Amino acid sequence: MKTTERISAAFARAAREDRAVFVAYLTAGDPNLRATVALARVLEKSGADVLELGVPFSDPVADGVTLQRAAARALAAGTTLDGVFAAAKEIRSVSEIPLVLFSYANPLHARGFGRAFREAKKAGFDAVLLTDVPVEELDAALPEVRRSGLDPVLLVSPTSDAGRMRAAAARSRGFLYVVSRTGTTGERTRLAGDLETTVSRARRAAKGLPIAVGFGIASAADARRVAAIADGIVVGSALVACAERNGRRAASAVGALARSIAKACRR
């Protein structure tokens, strides 16, 4: 299946089934790459439709403490960009789940954007999201993303004005990522009160492009609220924290949490 087809097929299938797409995030290499591949399989079997693999970075300014710790563990284990690509290849060898490369710009820029994106595509990734590159500064990398055959996925937030949302949507393929609130990633006791307004604004800008909401979705209750208004939900810190808490029981605990979130995606 072609790159764009995997992502679009996931959203089309979920729409037919009257549910939101479940996008799961893992920091690649936390606590090691073998565990990442194993958890990826658990997540897919437990209902995840799309998988984001995060490239660990030493200065993850957009991440909360949970993902900061995950990146530190992954780097301490010796995880490199080549290792992330190798893990993706292993996942792709047994699965057609859409894969999104989630990265800060620095690790990819150090490799050279063109080369990094080509290698990501060859490894089996379908899309790339540069978490610290705003839409105004993306034009240097965007042509290389598209030449590689990857889908660019851009972020918008509650503070994005209408023009910026339109610009991000126009440059995105696959889906538009809507940050649910200002601040860093991480679990919260409740979602932002103005989430419905942010999603409504993003949907007008997207003009039919699916939208997925992330940052702060920590429970089935959160997922249920977001699934009612968005095409997809993104869960990261809650899954990473679950694995962190449960150690050797991480696979079963993450699977149980993922199943509860997948069930909550049904409308």
User: What is the rounded CA–CA span in Å between residue 183 and residue 164?
Assistant: 18
Q: Quick count: other Cβ atoms within 10 Å of Cβ 228?
A: 13
Flag whether the pTM goes above 0.85: yes
Residue 63 annotated to the active site: yes
State the residue range of the domain holding 21.
3-264
Which of 30, 44, 49, 63 does the annotation list as catalytic? Answer: 63
Would you give per-residue pLDDT tens digits along the chain (267 residues)? 554 589 999 999 999 999 999 999 999 999 999 999 999 999 999 999 999 999 999 998 888 899 999 999 999 999 999 999 999 999 999 999 999 999 999 999 999 999 999 999 999 999 999 999 989 888 889 999 999 999 999 999 999 999 999 999 999 999 999 998 654 444 444 566 689 999 999 999 999 999 999 998 989 999 999 999 999 999 999 999 999 999 999 999 999 999 999 999 999
The one catalytic residue in 52, 119, 144, 222 is 52
Please tell me the predicted confidence (pLDDT) of residue 216: 86
Task: Provide the terminal-to-terminal Cα distance of the chain, rounded to the nearest Å.
Answer: 28
Cα 113 from Cα 130, distance rounded (Å) = 11
Sheet bearing 232-235, strands edge to edge: 151-152, 127-130, 99-103, 50-54, 21-27, 232-235, 211-214, 176-179, 155-156
Which pLDDT belongs to residue 134? Answer: 86
CATH number for the domain that contains residue 56: 3.20.20.70
How many domains, in total, are found in the chain?
Answer: 1
Active site residue 52: yes
